[in-house]
Amino acid sequence: MHGPLHVIVRFAVKEGELNTLVSLIGEFFKQEVSHFPGFISAKLHRNEEGTVLINYATWESSEAFLKFIAFARDSAMSKKIQAFNPTQDRVFEVLL
């Protein structure tokens, strides 16, 4: 597939965990992700109940994202976020 890669990461959070996770992700993006080559943007979305948090990120390519994943494996902040057991989908836009 060619073109930008969109990564959708979903977190199911327990009561009281949402703000902690949002803070962790915010710092992670500020300190590490936003400076990484190939990163375009990211947005966080939550449901009304505060039990689901979704990170929708866009990367220039699958290759750029895979390089980031290799880097993030050693990141202490990334490991804290992974402790929330996210699920991930990598998708490409379908043109109609």
**How many CA atoms within 13 Å lie on the side-chain side of 10?**
8
- Please indicate, yes or no, if residue 96 is contained in any of the structural domains: no
pTM value is 0.89
- What does the mean pLDDT of the chain come to? 94
- Please indicate, yes or no, if residue 65 is contained in any of the structural domains: yes
CATH number of the domain that 25 lies in?
3.30.70.100
Report the distance separating Cα 45 and Cα 10, nearest Å.
9
Model confidence over 6-18: pLDDT tens digits? 999 999 999 899 9
- Please indicate, yes or no, if residue 36 is contained in any of the structural domains: yes
The count of structural domains within the chain is 1
Report the distance separating Cα 19 and Cα 22, nearest Å.
5
Q: Which domain holds residue 12?
A: 5-91
Reported as type and span, the H/E element at residue 64 is helix 62-72
Q: What is the token pair recorded at 77?
A: 């902040």
